[in-house]
A and B are shown apart, each in its own frame.
Chain A
Amino acid sequence: MGGYFFRQVWQNLNQSRWINAITLGTITLSFLILGLFLVIFLNAKGLMEDWGSRIRVTAYLSDSLSAEQVSHLRQKILHFEEVRDVRYRSKDQALKTLQESLKGRQGLLRGLPRNPLPASMEIQLQPEHRNSIGVQGLVAKLKGAPEIEELQFGSEWVERFSAFMILLQVLGMGLSGLLLLATIFVICNTIRLNIFARQQEIEIMRYVGATGLFIRTPFYIEGALQGFLGASLALTMLFFFFQLFLTKVYEPLEEMLGIFPLHFLTWEQAAAMALGGVALGLFATQVSVGRYLRV
């Protein structure tokens, strides 16, 4: 039974080799571009998250605060929805940190009549608030608090990068959407041509008692197979190009660019892409079969 279907599929593929090769090529190209955008997007997103986690608001405190007031202020800040964590740094800790960062040049600090550094609170934001709106919202709540002398924050660069990510996402989705539409059209057309090529056979099948599902099944297998092969081929090529980029372009420039590891798709993402190919093939077949195959 299953053997019959695969024989039919093989026969279809063989009968119109060029059309099927062009179809496979189109699916592969579409998925290659889609995969490329996905790899760029996911890596950029990783970079964004990494940078975003470094967004902090630092509140420099007045010297006159008692331990109780500091504790009260910390609790108050922790209750803001934008805040994930608050780390208090006393005047002494601030000085110690400065001394450590001035390795070998501690002499600069000698002779100071008193510790000039203020105590501070380093406020870490919740992931969803690591943008300029989140930062501005928190700053608005902290401004005017008598315990705080000065606030330090900066998020414009994150905002710009975030806008670039949105642009990349829209561009990627738009282009991939168009390519997938073109792919559906090409698969539809191939299946349609195969239906026409087998018109006589299909007519006889109907008259000798084949069920509609039996007649349609080889076309579904063909569509799913083309989608799967196209997506898998694209993944293989993408992996090859990725490795090539890593060794020939990225690694030589790594020292200049800093350490930011690039990642390929996870196996779950790759499997989802291959399954996406199957779904696309099945969908396109359904469109063609529904329109051109009357059983």
Chain B
Amino acid sequence: MIEMVHVSKAYDLSPSALLDISLKIERGKFVYLTGPSGAGKTTLLKLLYVAERPTEGEIQVNGFEVLKLKPREIPRLRQTLGVVFQDLKLLPRRTALENVAFALEVLKMERKKVLEKAFQALRLVELERKGNCFPGQLSSGEQQRVAIARAIVNEPSLLLADEPTGNINAEAAEGILRLFDEINLRGTTLVVATHNEALPSMLPKERIILDRGRLVYSSLPKPPQEFL
């Protein structure tokens, strides 16, 4: 599902955003990616959905070798995964239903089917009654759920969530975790990046800890040192 071998990422202003990361996340796992702010969690997720390319190392996601991907092949990888962004990236002029449907429209699906599936996704996050509301009319927790619905609407095999409980209270955060657990039980692999140390104790799962770009702890089995 996900394999990283000796992966490093350097920026001009942050030469060691990630340093020599090797890990393997099997299909169906639920993994917390934790660490303080600036530890490299978002960078690691960005490498997985190819918003960034590694400076060194090899990455495999859903069978795609990231380094070998040509720009025109990247959409094929992205179509197999869902992303919940830290800043949600909801379109303010579109309703909740339209925001969710948007992710399917770009996959060239029929309009009727798009709306049907978008409505199902909203039902899963318990927002089917607020489909016609604009993001500005929803609470932070509800906006978070819309973003999750958009990420899962195309039934991805891998869901990446970046600080999904960042702006919500503990009760809403617990609700989001329950939702992730339900999604995971349906067979979707989850990688949840969070700096909130309380989350893993609310719903204990596998855990990876990053600190200043280095992998300092992993409950996952030791990864191979190179691709087979």
Q: A206 contacts which chain B residues (CB < 8 A)?
A: 75, 78
Q: How far is the CA of A42 from the CA of B142 in the complex (A)?
A: 66
Interface contact B91-A207, CB-CB below 8 Å = no
Among the 9-residue stretches A180-188, A196-204, A234-242, the one with 4 or more Cβ atoms under 8 Å from chain B is A196-204
Interface presence of A214 (CB below 8 A): yes
B85-115 interface with A by 8 A CB criterion: 85, 89, 91, 102-103, 105-108, 111
Instruction: Check A214–B111 contact: CB distance below 8 A.
Output: no
A208 close to B103 (CB less than 8 A): yes
Which among B71, B79, B85, B89 is the interface contact of A209 at CB below 8 angstroms? B79
> Which A residues touch B83, using CB under 8 A?
207-208
Chain B residues near A212 (CB-CB < 8 A): 71-72, 75
- Within the complex, the shortest CB–CB distance from B63 to chain A, in Å, comes to 15
Q: Within residues 103 to 153 of chain A, which ones have a CB less than 8 A from any CB in chain B?
A: none
Nearest residue in B to A4 (C-beta to C-beta)?
B105
Q: Whole-angstrom distance between the alpha carbons of A207 and B85 in the complex?
A: 10
Q: Are A207 and B111 in contact (CB under 8 A)?
A: no
Are A208 and B78 in contact, with the CB atoms below 8 A?
A: yes
Q: Give complex CA distance A200, B83 in Å.
A: 15
B30 adjacent to chain A (CB < 8 Å): no
On chain B, the residues within 8 Å of A207 by CB distance are 49, 51, 78, 83, 85, 89
Assess whether B89 is in contact with A204, with CB atoms less than 8 Å apart.
yes
* Bound CA span A211–B89, Å: 19
Nearest chain B residue, comparing its CB with the CB of A210? B106
With contacts A209-B75, A209-B78 known, is A214 near B106, CB below 8 A? yes
B89 contacts which of A3, A200, A210, A214 (Cβ < 8 Å)? A200
Some 24 contacts from A to B, beta carbons below 8 A apart, are A1-B108, A3-B111, A200-B89, A203-B89, A204-B89, A204-B102, A205-B106, A206-B78, A207-B49, A207-B51, A207-B78, A207-B83, A208-B79, A208-B83, A208-B106, A208-B150, A209-B76, A209-B78, A209-B107, A209-B154, A210-B75, A210-B106, A212-B72, A214-B108
Which one, A4, A204, A210, contacts B111 given CB within 8 A? A4
Give chain B's interface residues, CB within 8 Å of chain A.
49, 51, 71-72, 75-79, 83, 85, 89, 91, 102-103, 105-108, 111, 150, 154
What is the CA–CA distance of A23 and B49 in the complex, to the nearest angstrom? Answer: 38
Do residues A208 and B154 form an inter-chain contact, with CB atoms below 8 A? yes
- With A4-B111, A208-B106, A214-B106 known as contacts, the answer to whether A201 contacts B91 (CB < 8 A) is yes
Query: What is the bound-complex CA distance between A100 and B49, given in angstroms?
Result: 95
How many angstroms from the CA of A286 to the CA of B218 in the assembled complex? 48
Q: Which of A150-194 contact B (CB under 8 A)?
A: none
Expressed in whole angstroms, the Cα–Cα distance for A215 and B103 within the complex equals 13
Residues of B within 8 A of A4 (CB): 105, 108, 111
A216 to B79, CA, bound (A): 18
How far does the alpha carbon of A209 sit from the alpha carbon of B83 in the complex, in Å?
11
How near does chain A come to B73, taking the closest CB pair, in angstroms?
10
